[in-house]
Every structure is written in structure tokens, then in C-alpha cells.
Amino acid sequence: MSPNLKARSALAAATLLLTTPALAQEPQAGAPPAEAAQAHQPTITKPPELVQQVEAQYPPDALTQGLTASVRLIITIAEDGAVSDVQPTEAVGNGFDEAAIAAVRQFRFSPAEVDGVPAPVQVEYVYHFTLNAPPPPEGETPTEQEAPKATLTGQLISRGSRSRVAGATVRCGDDPEAPEATSDAEGRFTLEVPPGECAVRVVASGYQLYQTKELLKENETTEVNFYLAPSGGALETVVRSERPKKEVVRRTITREEAQKTPGTFGDPIRVIQALPGVARAPFISGELLVRGSNPGQTATMMDGVSIPILFHLLGGPSVVNAEFIDQLDFYPGGYGSQYGRAVGGVVEVGTRKGAADTLHGSVKVDVLDAGFFLEAPITDGISVAAAARRSYIDTLLPAFLPKDDGKTLSVVPKYWDYQLRVDFGAKRGAPSEADAGGARSSGYVMAFGSDDQLRVVSSGPKTERDLSLDTRTLFHRVKGDWTYRKGALTSVFTPYVGYDGVSFEFGTAKQDGVGYTVGAREVVGMELSSALTVRTGLDLVYEHQSYDVQFPAPEDFEYVAFPGAESVGELLVEKLALGAFDGALFLEADMKVGKFTFTPGVRGNLQLVGDTQNVALDPRLWVRFAATERTSLKGSLGLYSQPPESFRFISLPYGNPDLVYQRAFQSSLGVEHRFTDVLNVDVTGFFNRRFKNIALPGQLVEREGGGVVQLPYSNDGIGRAWGIELMAKKDRASATDKWSGWISYTFSRALDGRAGPKPDGGGGFGGGDFGGDSDATYGLSPWDQTHILTLVGSYILGSGWELGGRFRYTTGRPTTPLDHGYDVYRSDPNRYTPTFGPYASARASGFHQLDVRVDKNFQFQSWTLTAYLDVQNLYNAENAEFVFNDYRGRREYEIPGIPILPVVGLKGSF
């Protein structure tokens, strides 16, 4: 027996692991949303080819024992084709791993191209160590004759998801000299072999070795479908995104993480709360409290279009359906000039392009709602993806509501949402279309929207009062996206329109609001040289809002309230309308100087609302220093602006037309290090200062023409936050890697309040309701949490089982302690006024909670059923969400959070 080793199927059989490339003119780096969305699914226009192969040394001991092996490797190929890293996905031992790695490190590839540009990629490579049969005895010569042939043809299909498996090798037996075929993009293959029994072996990246036997007859074609089982129990090949980071901090959440992080109910937005820099919101609220900012100060966008309402009714699921997302990018601060309209962070939801191979879909059912997702190619180059969801709490709730003669209680909450995306242009995995001039275009049209309705009626002689509440919040957005590339020029044009409807009826109070939105974003990028890239663009939006309102004259707006029982005011009927424009022009450049990359930028903002004209200029700079291939230092500073919402500009006393941009200064400094391709650590410190933020109410002022008015809003809000964030993340190296997860820790201090005195009429959220008779208007933010620790882990148990856990610890939020010495009773409102100690000088108890999730996949030939159990607060910790006082202000009570809460769900996908 002589040793013979064969590095077979080097790249012909290796499937690209869809590593996203680094492109100099590639748009997604620090990307404007439209470009970023494009970047989520880069197209490999030229695969790497092995140009220099080095044979491995067969391990002597293994040779002696007659052992064979296949070593599966992840090879990172640099832009120039050199091998920059080699990692085995699973050790096989007996010296095979070391031998294979040593050989592969000497390989040389032709540079791969993504979207026509040389780019680093990763490939999975299987190095086979096999032993040849002994040579025939001397004197025997093989007879030269034309061998009879049989044909085996068919299609390779992923078991459970029906995805077509491309790039797999198909052969009969394990003879290294045997002919083999490679499946195409449709998973099809044709193999010509000698007739007889064929011990079929199919090797595909991300799939288990497939073996079967087929009896092939001479001169006949046998057609088959082989269903390959994904390795590691995953439904999809592991996707690793390695976009270059120019932002100081960008955290990326994949679809799988968004769906499977325990304790989040599979809600993508709530997963963001498990990232550094985000304070814990009370209960199961999904509010994003980023680096000391207040709710509403972090922008959330879907492919670059602002999402008007983030969550369904009463803190329900977010309107972003996890099935429809490709990934989420979260920027806690220091983001580029193309982003605006936020003084906190930015969340960019990238949506999913429809499948290019065949029809796929899923149906999901849980205790709150049910939904579906479908994706399919329509024709060559056009694909569609659609998702919709509808709650059914309204049908279940009546069974749980109390029934009593003389009392009628009806609660009808309903919500639904949808997303639809149609892509035009290059088919996934295929070269992009190119016209005669070398230009390439692609694009898509997307629509999304949601509707929330809540009707509550309580009536009957035994009720304390008849109550009627009817609300509806509806929105639709339709956007287009056209990406044009020619040479070093990239242009992304994103127009969009929207409709918003809000109705509210509570007793005799009614409000019907309608809003129309039209906007567009244009981003042009030009790579002037390898060291200089310039981006510029416009970001424009116009809103027209109108309201028909009818309500009893409200106290303190129309007349001076007397403390106590509110009288019923005369009915006021008003029609309000206003148009609001907000536009921005931005310019930024990436300048590479040695190991430094400087990105200076500026964003000019203009807001026009009625007679109000506001201007804000936001210069920004961030710097990255690539100390080594794996270590980077980074820093940023800049100004950020957020326009007040349009409705705040309606005329006095319900709005304040004199509002200006909310502003913030953000700075950060950090270091990141890649220990391996799948293990990253990032440490970043930050200092933010917010000013001219919206605070409510404003001061009491005299009106022109007589009378007084309390401004409902002012720009008196200020805040300050500093801290340090740590993120250590372990991704799955391959489909067979069982562990993934991250550690997130934030140490921070956040201050919030208002500049100037406490207004007559009290404080309010954002302006600091500073409690009692204290004159303090500035202090610890109500959301300040000194320590925020989150541990997230997921482990694939095998046989379709997956176990995940999330543990959280946060410092309790600030409270103002009671300092009771005597009762202070106000007879008119029949209320006691507590006497407080120093503002925010105490804290609620710390919060700690463990959430666990178990998934079980049942994989059938054409579809997969997934059942999951998501348990919040597994050990039923009694955490304090709020601290309330008793009615006389003598004792404090901690309001407990969510107790143990199990949620089950089912998902079928095909």
C-alpha cells in the first residue's frame, strides 16, 4: 500500500462562506442605509482559484496504521490571494490537522472579487488524506478499451429547507481518481461513471456527508434528487459578516441571533438591549436607552427609512418581523455624517432579499400572534420576499375577562404588520448585469407597515364609571432603492413615501390625525484613489400632518387648574394642519495615511416648519489606527442634531413654534482586537453631552395681546453621560461549531435634567420631575445604571436541540428617598405631599434575571418544524422596577418586575 494524498475539491467543491468583503468603494462601510442594505448580500463575481497547491506530509503514524481522514478547514484568503488564516472546523487528530494546516498555509489563490472588486473571502476546504490501492503486479498491463458509461444526474436539495445546494461534489466511491461532478447554482449535477453499483458520496460545505447507492445501467441516465442534511442542525449555512468598521462602534445582530436570543421573544429590537451602551428598560419594554439618552432619542430605520412606531400595543412585539430581517446594525454613537435626526444612537434594520433558488417560507405561531414569511424567485433576476403577522389576543382575551351581572368589560386589542420586498438586478450568486458602459444597476422596492387597534369598553350600573377608549395607529411606507455602480462611482438613490393615521377616542375626546410623508436620500461615493474616498449626499423629508380634534377644554392649557376634582370643560373643536421639511446635506471622506484612516465629515441640517427655520451644522471626525492586522484603535468626536417632531410645532398653547434642533456632542475612544476570526473583543469609552433637548413643560410666559401660557415644550433639556463598554463576542466558526454568544458590560453614569429653574406647573418627563418640593432640576438620569452586564450564550446540543441563555445584572435605578418627619396634606386635591431627601440619592435594588430558551428542530424531507420554549426570569427573581411611596409619603414600596414567564411557540419552515 502506498500513501497517496489528495487535496481534492480544493475550491471547485468548496462553498464560499459568504464572507462579506472589504471594498474600497464599497458602500456599506459607514454606509448610508440604502448602501448598507445593499451590502448585506454581496455578490461574488469571481471566485478564488487555487493557483499553487502544496501537498501535505502524510502523518507517519497514521500511515503506519493505515488511517485516512478528511480535515475540514476554513481558509481566509486576503485581497491579494494569499492565505491569511487557516482554522480547522473540527479536529480529527492523528496529526492530520497539523499536516493539513501546514500545507494549506503555503497555498496561493487568485484574488477573489466581490461585486467586481478584489476582496478578502473565506472558503471552506476539505483536505482528504487517502491511501491508494497497491499498484498492479508487474507484467500486467491495463487493457486499453473504451469503457461503457452510465449517467447519474439530479439535484441536491437541503433537507428541511429545500434550498438548492451549490458547489457540492458528487462522486462514486472514495477513489480519488474517480470522476466527480460539481453542482451548479440550482444544485444540479451530471456525473458520467462506469455502469454498475455507484456508492454515491456527496460532499458539501455546511452539510453532512451524504452517501447512498444507485444502480446505474449502461448508456442510461438515472435522475435523482438527493436531500442533504445540514450539519450542526442549522437550517442555514453560517454567515459571517466581516464588513470593515470605520465607525468607532457598530454592533451587528444576525437574523438567527435576533430570533433566538433568550428572553427577547424573538424580537430583533429587544435583542439590541443586550448590547453594550444600552440601559435596561423597565419590565419588557423595548425602549432603547443608549449612552445616557432618553427614550425617543435613538433613530430606528428599516433600510434607511425611519420606522414611525417601533412597538405594537402596550409594549408588544416590535413592528420589525424577525423573519424579514437580514441583520441589524446598532451604532451607539459616533456614527457617520450620512446619519442624522438622532442625538442618541442609530439602529439600522437591513431587510432580507428574497431567495433566488426556489420558494421558501415559514409559518410561526405563538401565544400572541401568528405570521408567515415567503420568499421566491419570480423570474431570472427578480425575487420577492413577504412577511405578515396578525395578533389574536382579541379572540382569546374574552375568555379571561371577568364576567359579572351589571358589569360589561370588553377589551379588544389587535395588531398586524407586513413587509414586502421585490428585488431587481443580479441574481444571488450570479454575476451582476452590466451594460455596455460597464455600469451596473440593481434595486428593489419595499413596503412595510403596521396597524394597532385597541378598544376598551367598561359599562353597566355596577361599574364605578362608564369608560370608552378606542385607538388606532396605522402606518405604511413604500420605498425604492436604485444602486448604480460604474468604475469608482457608486450612487444609491432611495425615494420613499408614507402614510400615517392616528385616531383616538376617549369619552368625548377625539383626535383623528393623518400624515403624509415624502422623502428621498441620495448618496454618491467616489473612490478618487486607493487612499481617498469621498461620499456626499442629500437626505430630505417632508411631512404634512393634519388633525381633527375635539375635546373638553383641558385645564392648564385653556384655564388655570384648581387642584382636585377636574371639572368638565366645554367642548373644543379644532382643525390643525402643518407641513414640516427637514433636509440635510452631508459630505465625508475616508483618507488613508499609513495605518491611519481619517474620516472627517460634516452634515448641514435645515428644518422648516411654518414660519420657523432652524439650521444646525454637525462636523464629525473619526479616526482608526490599524495597529496590527487584528488590532485597531479608534476614536471619534462630533456634533449631532435631532429635529423636534413636527406635531410639537403646532400653535400655542398645544405646541411651541419656537423650538430648535436638539443637539448632542458625542465622543469615544476604544480598541478592538480579533483573537480569531470568530472571537472579537471591543473596549470603548465614551463621553456625551446633550443640550437644547426637548423638556416639558416649558416656562410660564405672558402672551402677546394678554393672558399667560405655559409652553408645553422647551429646549431646556440637558444631559451628560460617560462610561466604558466591553463587548466580547464568539461567533460560530462553522455549521458544526456548537458555541456562540457574547459578554456585554457597561460601566456608565448618566445625568439628565433641565437648564434653568423648575417651571411653574411642575416638571415632566425629560424635563425632570424632580419630586416633592425640591428645586433641583438636574441630577442622575432616571435611567442611570452604573453596571450593566449581559451574558448571552447558545449551544447546539445535537439532534435538533439547541439551548440558549441570557443573564442580566444591572444596578438599580436612582430614586429620591423619603425624609418623612410629618404629614403634609393638601385638602383641595385630597393628596399628601411627601417630603423627600436629596434628589436621586438612593437606588432601587439591583436587577438580575436569567432567561432560557430551548429550541427543537424536527427536520423532515421538505420542511422543518421548530418548537421553542422561552422562559423569562427562570429563577423568578423579584426585581424592583419602580419605587413608589404610600399615599402619605411615609413608606417606600418596590414594584416588582415580570415574574417567571414561559412562552411557547411553533415555527414551520420549508
Least spacing, CB of residue 592 vs another protein, in Å: 46
Does position 507 interact with another protein (CB under 8 A)? The reply is: yes
441 or 458: CB nearest another protein: 458
Grid coordinates given for 817 = 428617598
Q: Which 609-648 positions form the footprint of another protein (CB under 8 A)?
A: none
- What whole-number distance in Å separates Cα of residue 488 and Cα of residue 491? 10
Q: Which 138-167 positions form the footprint of another protein (CB under 8 A)?
A: none
Does position 463 interact with another protein (CB under 8 A)? The reply is: yes
Among 542, 557, 745, 809, the residue binding another protein under the rule CB under 8 A is 557
Does position 404 interact with another protein (CB under 8 A)? The reply is: no
CA distances from 41 to 79, 537, 906 (A): 19, 23, 28
At 824, the amino acid letter reads V
- Is the Cβ–Cβ distance between 11 and 50 less than 8 Å? yes
- Is the Cβ–Cβ distance between 153 and 223 less than 8 Å? yes
Among 457, 888, 903, 908, the residue binding another protein under the rule CB under 8 A is 888
Among 104-112, 327-335, 816-824, 863-871, the segment contacting another protein (CB under 8 A): 816-824
Least spacing, CB of residue 769 vs another protein, in Å: 14
Grid coordinates given for 879 = 426585581
81 or 782: CB nearest another protein: 782
In sequence order, what are the beta bridge partners of 623? Answer: 598, 635
Please count the other Cβ atoms lying within 10 Å of the Cβ belonging to residue 884. Answer: 11
Does position 469 interact with another protein (CB under 8 A)? The reply is: yes
Least spacing, CB of residue 562 vs another protein, in Å: 5
Among 164-172, 336-344, 353-361, 697-705, the segment contacting another protein (CB under 8 A): 697-705
Least spacing, CB of residue 371 vs another protein, in Å: 22
Among 35-43, 77-85, 308-316, 326-334, the segment contacting another protein (CB under 8 A): 308-316
316 or 635: CB nearest another protein: 316
Among 283, 424, 516, 665, the residue binding another protein under the rule CB under 8 A is 283
753 or 759: CB nearest another protein: 759
Q: Which 168-207 positions form the footprint of another protein (CB under 8 A)?
A: none
Least spacing, CB of residue 818 vs another protein, in Å: 13
Q: In what helix (H) or strand (E) does residue 65 lie, and over which residues does it extend?
A: helix 60-65
Letters for 647-676 (x = contact with another protein by CB under 8 A, - = none) are ------x-----------------------
Contacts 24+ apart (CB under 8 A), 561-566: 562/828, 563/826, 563/828, 563/829, 563/831, 564/828, 564/829, 564/830
Least spacing, CB of residue 888 vs another protein, in Å: 7
Does position 559 interact with another protein (CB under 8 A)? The reply is: yes
Does position 895 interact with another protein (CB under 8 A)? The reply is: yes
- Is the Cβ–Cβ distance between 567 and 611 less than 8 Å? no
- What whole-number distance in Å separates Cα of residue 1 and Cα of residue 131? 7
212 or 830: CB nearest another protein: 830
Among 195, 569, 579, 800, the residue binding another protein under the rule CB under 8 A is 569
- Is the Cβ–Cβ distance between 797 and 739 less than 8 Å? no
Among 55, 61, 175, 823, the residue binding another protein under the rule CB under 8 A is 823
Letters for 828-867 (x = contact with another protein by CB under 8 A, - = none) are x-x--x----------------------------------
125 or 311: CB nearest another protein: 311
Collect all residues with Cβ–Cβ distance below 8 Å to 535 and sequence separation of at least 6.
32, 338, 523, 524, 525, 526, 586, 587, 588, 589
Per-position DSSP letters for 266-326, written without gaps between them: T-HHHHHTTSTTEEPPSTT----EETTPPTT-SEEEETTEE-S--B-GGG--BSS-GGGEE
How far separated are the first and last CA of the chain, in Å rounded? 47
What is the Cα 886 distance to its own chain's centre? 42
Among 194-202, 499-507, 785-793, 848-856, the segment contacting another protein (CB under 8 A): 499-507
Name which of 119, 48, 29, 124 is nearest 78 in CA terms.
119
Least spacing, CB of residue 703 vs another protein, in Å: 7
Enter the DSSP assignment of 33.
H
Among 565, 575, 611, 628, the residue binding another protein under the rule CB under 8 A is 565
- What whole-number distance in Å separates Cα of residue 775 and Cα of residue 755? 12
Does position 406 interact with another protein (CB under 8 A)? The reply is: no
SS (H, E, C) 590-644: EEEECCEEEEEEEEEEEEEECCEEEEEEEEEEEEEEECCCCEEEEEEEEEEEECC
Among 60, 487, 563, 838, the residue binding another protein under the rule CB under 8 A is 563
- Is the Cβ–Cβ distance between 120 and 76 less than 8 Å? yes
Collect all residues with Cβ–Cβ distance below 8 Å to 57 and sequence separation of at least 6.
99, 102, 103
Among 504, 542, 691, 747, the residue binding another protein under the rule CB under 8 A is 504
Among 66, 137, 142, 707, the residue binding another protein under the rule CB under 8 A is 707
Among 53, 151, 432, 511, the residue binding another protein under the rule CB under 8 A is 511
Query: How long is the chain?
Result: 910
Enter the DSSP assignment of 256.
H
Q: Which 535-554 positions form the footprint of another protein (CB under 8 A)?
A: 551-554
Does position 560 interact with another protein (CB under 8 A)? The reply is: yes
Does position 704 interact with another protein (CB under 8 A)? The reply is: no
Among 82-90, 166-174, 460-468, 799-807, the segment contacting another protein (CB under 8 A): 460-468
Collect all residues with Cβ–Cβ distance below 8 Å to 825 and sequence separation of at least 6.
831, 832, 833
Least spacing, CB of residue 365 vs another protein, in Å: 25
Among 700, 797, 904, 906, the residue binding another protein under the rule CB under 8 A is 700
Least spacing, CB of residue 379 vs another protein, in Å: 41
Does position 706 interact with another protein (CB under 8 A)? The reply is: yes
Does position 573 interact with another protein (CB under 8 A)? The reply is: no
- What whole-number distance in Å separates Cα of residue 181 and Cα of residue 159? 20
- What whole-number distance in Å separates Cα of residue 807 and Cα of residue 873? 9
Among 17-25, 500-508, 573-581, 798-806, the segment contacting another protein (CB under 8 A): 500-508
Among 82, 422, 681, 824, the residue binding another protein under the rule CB under 8 A is 824
Among 97, 481, 539, 881, the residue binding another protein under the rule CB under 8 A is 881
- Is the Cβ–Cβ distance between 673 and 625 less than 8 Å? no
- Is the Cβ–Cβ distance between 445 and 386 less than 8 Å? no
Least spacing, CB of residue 411 vs another protein, in Å: 10
Does position 564 interact with another protein (CB under 8 A)? The reply is: yes
Q: Which 708-727 positions form the footprint of another protein (CB under 8 A)?
A: 708-709
Among 44, 249, 502, 733, the residue binding another protein under the rule CB under 8 A is 502
Grid coordinates given for 661 = 434642533
- What whole-number distance in Å separates Cα of residue 794 and Cα of residue 262? 9
Binding-residue total with another protein (CB under 8 A): 78
Among 128-136, 566-574, 715-723, 900-908, the segment contacting another protein (CB under 8 A): 566-574
Q: Are strands 299-302 and 346-351 parallel, antiparallel or unpaired?
A: parallel
